Structure 1
Amino acid sequence: MVHVHRTITVRTPGQTVVDYLQDFAHAEAWDPGTVSCTREGGGPIAVGSQWHNVSEFRGKQTELTYRLEQLEPGRIVFVGSNKTATSTDDLTVTEEGGVTTISYHATIKFHGLAKLADPLLKREFEKLGDELVPTMTKALEAL
């Protein structure tokens, strides 16, 4: 299992940040690994909403179906899965003194033989986490 944590600080109001991040299609703008992300179905975004995500990792594309698992004030949790891995993005949003802080936790659990690559892939995911900070900051500050 690989775990990556980053903290992003912006001057965008907290509720604006939550409203934006709860639509996982916006990952195209803030997640450096996302190639495309489209919502499946319609209606208001709520727990159970799903997105088809295409990501590029180590030069190869992979597809995951992400589901909004938790949506409560200040907390959003998405879980994406395919045959190879389950990826959980857990975002906590707090606001104090005009500054909004996003605590981003990504956990990737590999299945089957892919589990053997955990130690090798940790560094690659840490690099993606480092790239996420400026891209998410830029996307949120533009709101």
Structure 2
Amino acid sequence: MITVERSLFVALPVGDLLAYLEDFGRTEEWDPGTVRCVRIDEGPVRPGATWRNTSSFRGRTTELVYRLETREPAHLVFVGENSKVTATDDLLFEAQSATVTRLTYRASLRFKGLARLATPLLRAEFERLADQVMARLPSVLAERLP
């Protein structure tokens, strides 16, 4: 399994940041690996909501269906799956003040079958992708949220 974790401070209250990130379809805006992410069910965003995420990695395109597993006032967990991998995105929100939130983003990938053999070779690339997400997210939030 590969797990990468990053933290950053965002000039937004916890509630505003969580409201933005709970819609996994917005990963197109802040995750450089996401090509497309579309909600495949209807209704309010709540545990059980699902999205079809198309990502590009190492020149290949892959699809995972993500499900919102946990939605708490300071915690979101999304789990994506296909035949080769289970991906978990775990986001923790900690108020530093009324207008600043510390976001801790942990992404875990558990490869299945023969794909597990590639795990040690892919760690550095996932670390780099996590760095790109953390570099891009603040500017996207500044553009999208007041």
TM-score by length of 1: 0.97
| Cα shift readout 1:5-44 (whole Å, capped 9, x = no counterpart) | 0112110121000001000000001111100000012110
Which residue does 1:8 correspond to in 2?
Answer: 8
Matches of 2:106 and 2:68, distance apart in 1: 15
Matches of 1:41 and 1:59, distance apart in 2: 29
Structure 1: runs of 5 or more not aligned: none
TM-fit CA distance, 1:135 = 1.3
Matches of 2:87 and 2:37, distance apart in 1: 15
Matches of 1:78 and 1:141, distance apart in 2: 23
State whether structure 2 residue 128 is matched by structure 1 residue 134: no
- State the percentage of identical aligned residues: 46
Which residue does 2:58 correspond to in 1?
Answer: 58
CA contact (8 A) 1:48 1:67 kept: yes
TM-score by length of 2: 0.95
Matches of 2:142 and 2:101, distance apart in 1: 10
Q: Which runs of 4+ in 1 moved over 6 A?
A: none
Matches of 1:16 and 1:61, distance apart in 2: 32
- How much is the aligned-residue C-alpha RMSD, in angstroms? 0.8
Which residue does 1:99 correspond to in 2?
Answer: 100
Structure 2: runs of 5 or more not aligned: none
Question: SS at the partner of 2:116?
Answer: helix
Q: 2:119 is aligned with what amino acid?
A: D
Matches of 2:112 and 2:84, distance apart in 1: 5
